[in-house]
Amino acid sequence: MRLKDLVPPALLPAARALRHPWSRPGWEYVAEGWRADDVRAKGWHHESIVAAQLARWPAFVAALQGTGPLGLVHEDVTVAADDPAAHNAVMTVAYALSLALSAGHAAVLDWGGGLGYYAALARALFPDCRFDWTVKELPELCAAARPLLPEVRFDTDEDTALARRYDLVLASNALQYAQDWAALIGRFAAAARGSVLLTKLPVVSGAQSYVVVQRPHFAGYMSEYISWVFNRAELLAAARAHGLTLVREFMLERRPYPIRAAPEQCDIVGYLFERRWPPRALTASPAAPRDGAAANGSPARI
């Protein structure tokens, strides 16, 4: 009997991936875009994701000790601390935290923060500072994380997490998993009394924003899920429309993985925004436009 005779049509992509987890590319272009009925939009709920992250948590915490580099990739089966792209990502967040701190204190919303990786990193990087740290995550991850970091608030409800005000709203490897990402940027802006850092984003400059399917079996996640690859101009325009001013752009990694059949391969980048005008981190005129586009406007979990 054939698989499609046993499984409802909406579940076929996930069922095929689980049946043959290594037979399909890790990243693949989704030509039909983001469909509301795509079961892969719920892929982060798979039980293997919590199990894999919990299994690697002790190694992650151990790697924070001492004076070594912090190029940590918690998604890798073996946690190491010497990955340059991951080091770029960590230092980008550290830079944003340093600007957000006032008198040694900062309130942070960590959207899609997993088990609280950046909260643990912040404690290692700023041992003399105090953080009021909130992680917004899926219920399964929040339940697993609370015993690990009792000093961190883990919220499962979007409205509850966004009802407070924060010195820094951080979304690392997270924005691309929201179907209406532009509206979510607006909610981040409304919750920020200081800065918004959108980082570890897959970004292209020529093609329009498009959807991909990820199959992260290398990380022990026996699931697949869809996400966006952003057009740079579209992303920055959405941020400006919600009152955010670009302070700094960060290049984290060039062409990190091949996306099968994609209209353009992506880079992984980050953007630090501020709600104030002019932004306090800028003292000179804006840089010249990139690639012939308008200034600040041309269009990637630790």
Using one digit for the tens of pLDDT, what is the confidence trace for 175-219?
999 999 999 999 999 999 999 999 999 999 999 999 999 999 888
What residues contact 274, with CB distance under 8 A and at least 6 apart?
Answer: 194, 195, 196, 244, 245, 247, 280, 281
**Among candidates 160, 154, 188, which has minimal Cα distance to 174?**
188
Element (H, E) at 226: strand 225-231
Question: How far, in Å, CA of 183 to CA of 160, rounded?
Answer: 17
Question: How far, in Å, CA of 252 to CA of 165, rounded?
Answer: 28
Predicted local distance difference test score (pLDDT) of residue 66: 87
The pairing of strands 192-204 and 166-172 is: parallel
Planar angle of CA 265, 268, 274, nearest 5 degrees: 130
Predicted local distance difference test score (pLDDT) of residue 3: 43
Question: How far, in Å, CA of 188 to CA of 173, rounded?
Answer: 15
Confidence of residue 10 (pLDDT cuts 50, 70, 90): very low
Q: By the 8 A CB rule, do 118 and 94 touch?
A: no
Question: If you write DSSP's letter for every residue of 146-173 in order, what string do you get?
Answer: TTT-TTSEEE--HHHHHTS-EEEEEEES
Domains annotated on the chain, with CATH? 24-274 (3.40.50.150)
Using one digit for the tens of pLDDT, what is the confidence trace for 125-156?
999 999 999 999 999 999 999 999 999 999 99
Using one digit for the tens of pLDDT, what is the confidence trace for 14-38?
444 444 444 589 999 999 999 989 9
| Residue 8 confidence (pLDDT) above 70 | no
Confidence of residue 86 (pLDDT cuts 50, 70, 90): very high
| Residue 280 confidence (pLDDT) above 90 | no
Q: By the 8 A CB rule, do 195 and 272 touch?
A: yes
Cis check for the bond before 278: say yes or no (omega within 30 of 0): yes
Higher confidence at residue 24 or residue 160? 160
Question: How far, in Å, CA of 188 to CA of 185, rounded?
Answer: 5
Question: How far, in Å, CA of 192 to CA of 247, rounded?
Answer: 15
Q: What are phi and psi of 82, to 5 degrees?
A: -120, 25
Using one digit for the tens of pLDDT, what is the confidence trace for 31-64?
999 998 999 999 999 999 999 999 999 999 999 9
Using one digit for the tens of pLDDT, what is the confidence trace for 221-276?
899 999 999 999 999 999 999 999 999 999 999 999 999 999 999 999 999 999 86
Confidence of residue 282 (pLDDT cuts 50, 70, 90): very low
What residues contact 11, with CB distance under 8 A and at least 6 apart?
Answer: 39
Element (H, E) at 196: strand 192-204
Instruction: Supply the angle between the helices 47-63 and 117-125 in degrees, to the nearest 10.
Output: 10
Question: How far, in Å, CA of 246 to CA of 229, rounded?
Answer: 19
| Residue 289 confidence (pLDDT) above 90 | no
Q: What are phi and psi of 64, to 5 degrees?
A: -75, -15
